[in-house]
Amino acid sequence: MTDTVTIAIDGPAGSGKSSVSKAAARSLGYGYLDTGAAYRALAWHVLDRGADTDDEAAVVAAASDFDYAISLNPDEYWVRVGDVTVTDAIREPRVSGAVSGVARVPAVREQVNTLFRRLVAESGRPGVIVEGRDITTVVAPDAPVRILLTAAPEVRAARRSAELTTEDAAAVAAALHKRDASDSKVVDFLTAAPGVTVVDSTDLDFTQTIDAVLDVIRSGTGGSR
């Protein structure tokens, strides 16, 4: 059995990396790993314990019994913590606001990065598209294909606002910029590292962005799958 190919995709909030990665994985018959879900699920776990995600000791304690599972099937996506399905719960505003507090803890990042590599290795799939914040530089720096998917800030804000139809556009833009600023203190996800291919979707629609990513993947893996 051949080793699973890892495709690493990084990008800022609103760049479309989740939806584009999922669609590309579906097209290639690959698995899809949303790494951000692990940080969200851990934030949910901390909050569920009645703890504060700004308390590093509480975060580390919660991580010690973090029983996490996620589907790598792009057509059947789910996230669980223990016996609880938290697929929708981890997208709630209270969790979104707590994620950065969890993600900034070095011990947590090391723990979940090890988890990500294990999930890929044990996937049983020909390839897995892994998307997140520091996938191209830390999680899978040796991946045969590494992509930074980005777009102009105003475009990213507009796309995120369209997804969250119940929220004010200005508030969505402010939240996105705040998230970028907070997360950038932990990892640089706005600058492509050496060897990383930039796909700028500012002037591309969804289908064109998927095609651009697939072109990079096929070129990098030497196949036309």
Domain boundaries of the chain, sorted by first residue: 5-221
pLDDT (tens digit, 9 = 90+) per residue, 84-140? 999 999 999 899 889 989 999 999 999 999 999 999 999 999 999 999 988 999 999
Q: 144 labelled as ligand-binding? A: no
Q: 12 labelled as ligand-binding? A: yes
Q: Within a 10 A sphere around the Cβ of 174, how many other Cβ atoms?
A: 12
Indicate the burial class of 149 (C-beta count within 10 angstroms; 0-12, 13-18, 19 or more): buried
Q: 14 labelled as ligand-binding? A: yes
Q: 21 labelled as ligand-binding? A: no
Please tell us whether the domain made up of 5-221 is placed in CATH 3.10.450.50.
Answer: no
Under 8 Å between Cβ of 141 and 191: no
Q: 50 labelled as ligand-binding? A: no
Q: Report pLDDT for 157.
A: 80
For the chain, the straight-line distance linking the first and the last C-alpha, in angstroms and rounded, comes to: 18
Q: 123 labelled as ligand-binding? A: no
Q: 13 labelled as ligand-binding? A: yes
pTM value?
Answer: 0.85
Q: 223 labelled as ligand-binding? A: no
Q: 11 labelled as ligand-binding? A: yes
Under 8 Å between Cβ of 134 and 10: yes
Q: Report pLDDT for 188.
A: 55
- Separation CA 212–CA 160 (nearest Å): 21
